[in-house]
Amino acid sequence: MTMIRPVIMAGGVGSRLWPISRKLYPKQFVSFQADTLSLFQQSLQRLQGMDNIGPPIVVCNEEHRFLVAEQLRALGGEAAIEQATIILEPEGRNTAPAVALAALAAESEDDILLVLAADHLITDIPVFHQVIAEGAAHAAAGKLATFGIVPGHPETGYGYICRGKALESGFAIDAFVEKPDAATAQAYLDSGDYFWNSGMFMFTAGTYLRELEAHAPDILQVCRQSWAQCSEDLDFKRIPEESFASCPADSIDYAVMEHTNEGVVIALDAGWNDLGAWSSLWEHSEADAQGNVSRGDVILNSVSDSYIHAESRLVSVIGMDNAVVVETPDAVLVSARDRVQDVKHIVDGIKNAGRPEADSHVRVYRPWGSYETLVMGDQFQVKRIRVNPGASLSLQLHHKRAEHWIVVQGSALVTIGDKQTRLEANQSTYVPIETKHRLENAGDQELVLIEIQCGSYLGEDDIVRFDDVYGRVET
């Protein structure tokens, strides 16, 4: 039987879920509930138990590559996941080129591509599996299948698909329509002929490439050229920026689905949501007797129908209804629940002001672990450094700062100049200015240390790398 290759679209920045979702750590890599997988990991996990599911193909941004690799490794347990193909786009050009690259990466043109977004929520897994099986049958017959979400209310935030002639399974596609106004959305709901456009698809790699050549040959030409020039970089397939930059940016809908005669829409009613706003999380989470959903250290008094999320401290709320409060170590969002879509205006203002809160959290993730700034003052900075077991930082030096390291957990192998030292908990060392140094985790548990930086300039760009296992040395 033909193999189904999941294609996970893991780009995007998810600004509508700021301040949890940021450019460098967007919502698809976030776990919004304690002790749960990230949305990206759930997109793969929910496919387990199906027959003929092959290794996934993940298309992501260059800056998220190590998040993808680490979350795939953490998911573990399945050979298909360990053999994933990770394609790095130098810049996002929408879904049509991204899926073209995935189709070119498939082992066979007969492989069925199951195109999924990395940030969707689906709660009824058995129904989802059943619909995938229906889509696979259409794909094997040369059709291009998409999944239309059975609408539960007149939604103005989604595009719609109008169904045509009924088929043995699913419907022919009559039309794709843009996001409607409220009255039109209500008319769509009342007619029973319209589905929400989920952005999920199934077709063989060969069918998609042939349809793309027929309807958007300029996209296919650039993608073929870029794929032919892609390079291997650790676990990644790196697409060259020079060739890919000329690729037109277009969605699968516009480039292919609106023009093909082979389109099919299959109804999906499986608890789907794209988690496009904080109100969506409130709607799809278990609430208390007052209709409140709370995460973290939260105390409420006379509060109802609200979403309260605390990450780093106690958050107390009094006398508010239909509200959203989201706290992180460096930013707090307070909004009426029906106005959370306007968070994009806040993020735009932060970007225009040149502030870092739009892009990164206090805790910044790196391929070897993470760091977070605890205290910053005049010519000094204190950070907490976390290094994963078996990981190491680059061999590097700084021109304008010295560093003091104090190990608080784990075992560190420290290189300073031409000397190597092993440090255990409660031991420390000093790295002078203009001195080559490297930090490695020498144990089997997470290494945690406190770093005190002192100098005239403490920016992250004051770093010269000489050797780096993650390919970050500039030549």
Q: What gap in Å lies between CA 77 and CA 475, rounded to an integer? A: 37
pLDDT tens per residue across span 272-304: 998 889 999 999 899 999 999 999 999 999 999
Calculate mean pLDDT across residues 448-469: 94
Residue 431's pLDDT is what?
Answer: 97
Residue 474's pLDDT is what?
Answer: 64
Most confident of 27-41, 47-61, 286-300: 286-300
- Say which CATH topology domain 363-467 has: Jelly Rolls (2.60.120)
Average pLDDT across the chain, whole number: 93
Residue 34's pLDDT is what?
Answer: 63
Confidence tier at 83 by pLDDT (50, 70, 90):
confident
pLDDT tens per residue across span 322-355: 999 999 999 999 999 999 999 999 999 999 999 9
Residue 77's pLDDT is what?
Answer: 59
Provide the CB-side half-sphere exposure for 63 (13 A, CA).
Answer: 14
Confidence tier at 66 by pLDDT (50, 70, 90):
confident
Strand order in the sheet with 363-366: 363-366, 369-377, 380-387, 447-455, 401-409, 428-431
What percent of the chain is predicted at pLDDT more than 70? Answer: 98
* Domain 4-268, second-level architecture: Alpha-Beta Complex (3.90)
Confidence tier at 39 by pLDDT (50, 70, 90):
very high
CATH 3.90.550.10 boundaries in the chain: 4-268
Residue 79's pLDDT is what?
Answer: 46
Q: Tell which wins on pLDDT, 469 or 153.
A: 153
471 pLDDT higher than 90 = no
